[in-house]
Amino acid sequence: MSFEKLGLRADLLKALAQKGYALPTPIQAQAIPAILDGKDVLGGAQTGTGKTAAFALPILQQLSESPTETKGPRALVLAPTRELAAQVCESFQTYGKRLNLRSHVVFGGVGINPQIKALFQGIDVLIATPGRLLDLAGRRAVDFRNLQCLVLDEADRMLDMGFIHDIRRILKLLPSKRQNLLFSATYSPEIKRLSEDILDRPEMIEVARRNTAAETVAQSAYQVEKNQKRVLLSQLAQEGNWEQALVFTRTKHGANRLATQLSSDGIDSAAIHGNKSQAARERALAAFKKRSVRILVATDIAARGLDIKDLPFVVNYELPNVPEDYVHRIGRTGRAGKDGQAISLVSQEENKLLWGIEKLLGRKIEFVGSETPSNAKPKPNGTRSGGKPKNRSASKRPSDRRSEERNGPENGEKRNADSQNWNPRETERQPGSRRRRRRSGSSKASPNPSSEAAKPLNRFRKFFSKRPLVPSR
């Protein structure tokens, strides 16, 4: 299937050729004809699948075919974060550069007056974060009377971030007759409710199952004490000659501290998080995209929606509390069919979080290195006895030890009870389906000691005898 066959006009095809897109991605192949047909769409697609072009291209085409003199936006895209909103706007501008259409982005954290001015001058596509859009609407700076199309991008994240009330307030301001497109990586009961309220007989398009990581991302983990993580990360980056890595921490202070420490280790690093001004966030991101910064340390919210071309590594310096965030994090690499590596540094206290992630993914994440003492006995609640490592070699493979530890939470704990697979047509979960998938995932992932998968486990011993195993590109 080519872009030509999707019915896109020559101006858009030229822009795509210039971007080097040879073929449509699966979400583009399915969504573009449906949107051009005027249908509502419920898209189950995570970031990295090409979903932005999947809605931007047909919207641009539709708007270019019905030019008007009105000032108000004819298409509105709501996005959860400033970074994602800015990227979506950039995509509209890139794809539509041969069309006589104006796309503009508005978000908080920057002056509102230039935004009011731009809206007054007239725009065709408005990309906005919900809070700032309501501010602008409250000042009567936006005229929605000619709105034809609404897109909720990363709707699940907007709900996670508490935007549901803002979204409902915005919906009340829009004309009731319009096309609606909702994209979400996950399909929670809240998303189901929202889509039922907004969408009219939608075309349901699913390109990646909920909570699955892209197959192009190789996932691995190191079992490492908290206070050893920084040293390990420095070594991995330096000895593996990492060109670039996006590193996730759980806190803003942690992000700042780590970026400073890595810089003092000689690895140019910057931090990006919600306490930084928009200008500082943009500077850090631009430096990373220009490759003058090798490591960008980010918190989940700040990194949401970041599209960094050819990013080879994502590191979970600390595992996220919410398993779904793991999927979002590692989706920054392995994008558009490129290979990527996701490496998690897991302290003993975080083993439970890792179980949660594995349960969600339905597969194990292999440990390729560990400094866990071999004599550490698993406790019934899944934690291990603490203390400093006495012996850095492991008598059992980490995967074996972890499966023992896992017995506690696996059997006794209700984790992710409301997790559902992406299936908008499914009203009830199949009984036992998660458990079956989990088991088959585990057995598949257990490496035979002589297998390829077990080799890193032997090699990790070298890591702690000062010759680290370093994934490199």
Among 12, 24, 405, 422, interactor with ligand AMP by CB under 6 A: 24
Among 6, 12, 15, 25, binds ligand AMP (CB under 6 A): 25
- The reply on whether position 53 binds ligand AMP by CB under 6 A is yes
Candidates 49-57, 67-75, 159-167, 178-186: pick the segment binding ligand AMP (CB under 6 A): 49-57
Asked if 188 and 155 touch (Cβ cutoff 8 Å), the reply is no
Tell me whether residue 79 or residue 233 sits nearer to ligand AMP (CB atom).
79
Give the per-residue contact string, 276-315, with ligand AMP (x = CB under 6 A; - = no). -------------------------------x-x------
Residue 447 Cβ, how far from ligand AMP at the closest point, in Å? 32
Smallest gap, in angstroms, from Cβ of residue 107 to ligand AMP? 17
Among 8, 15, 35, 49, binds ligand AMP (CB under 6 A): 49
Stretch that binds ligand AMP, among 22-30, 235-243, 448-456, 457-465 (CB under 6 A): 22-30
CA distance 432 to 6: 40
Q: How far apart are CA 210 and CA 25, in angstroms?
A: 17
Q: Give the chain's radius of gyration (CA, Å).
A: 23
- Region from 19-27, 34-42, 345-353, 463-471 binding ligand AMP, contact rule CB under 6 A: 19-27
- Determine, following the binding rule CB under 6 A, whether residue 324 of this chain makes contact with ligand AMP: no
* Neighbour count for residue 91 (Cβ, 10 Å): 21
Do 203 and 29 meet the contact criterion of CB atoms below 8 Å apart?
A: no
* C-beta closer to ligand AMP: residue 41 or 136: 41
Q: Is 410 in the site for ligand AMP (CB under 6 A)?
A: no
Rounded to 5°, angle at Cα 39 from 35 and 42: 85
Report d(CA 269, CA 259) in Å as an integer. 5
User: To the nearest whole angstrom, how small is the minimum distance from the Cβ of residue 388 to ligand AMP?
Assistant: 44
Q: Which one, 294 or 335, has the nearer CB to ligand AMP? A: 335
Q: Phi, psi at residue 433, to the nearest 5°?
A: -65, -40
CA angle 336, 337, 339 (to 5 degrees): 115
Residues 6+ apart with CB under 8 A from 421: 187, 209, 210, 211, 429, 433
- Between 22 and 417, name the residue whose CB sits nearer to ligand AMP: 22
263, 334 contact by CB (below 8 A):
no
Of positions 161, 218, 336, 454, contacts ligand AMP by CB under 6 A: 336
Interface with ligand AMP, residue 48, by CB under 6 A: yes
- Binding of ligand AMP by 50 (CB under 6 A): yes
Of 42-50, 155-163, 274-282, 384-392, which part binds ligand AMP (CB under 6 A)? 42-50
One-letter amino acid for residue 389 of the chain: P
Taking CB under 6 A as the rule, does residue 21 contact ligand AMP? yes
H/E stretch holding 237 reads: helix 229-239
Give the one residue of 47, 148, 341, 442 binding ligand AMP; rule: CB under 6 A: 47
Which of the ranges 48-56, 66-74, 224-232, 382-390 carries the binding residues for ligand AMP, by CB under 6 A?
48-56
Scanning 45-53, 196-204, 255-263, 291-299 for contacts with ligand AMP by CB under 6 A, the matching segment is: 45-53
- From residue 86, how far is each of 60, 93, 128, 201, 322 by CA, in Å? 17, 11, 9, 30, 26
Q: Are 240 and 222 in contact (CB under 8 A)?
A: no
Cα atoms in the 13 Å half-sphere on the side-chain side of 396: 16
Number of residues interacting with ligand AMP: please give it, by CB under 6 A: 15
Q: Cα separation of 268 and 295, whole Å?
A: 6
Residue 51 binding ligand AMP, by CB under 6 A: yes
In this structure, are residues 126 and 159 in contact, taking their beta carbons and an 8 Å threshold? no
Contact call for residue 52 and ligand AMP (CB under 6 A): yes
The answer to whether residue 13 forms part of the interface with ligand AMP (CB under 6 A) is no
How long a stretch of residues is the chain?
473
30 binds ligand AMP per the rule CB under 6 A: no
Q: What is the identity of the amino acid at 457?
A: L
> Quick one: CA dihedral 94, 179, 112, 166, positive or negative?
negative
What minimum distance in Å lies between the beta carbon of 378 and ligand AMP? Answer: 40
Q: Cα separation of 52 and 30, whole Å?
A: 13
Residues of this chain that interact with ligand AMP (CB under 6 A) are 21, 24-25, 28, 47-53, 307, 309, 335-336
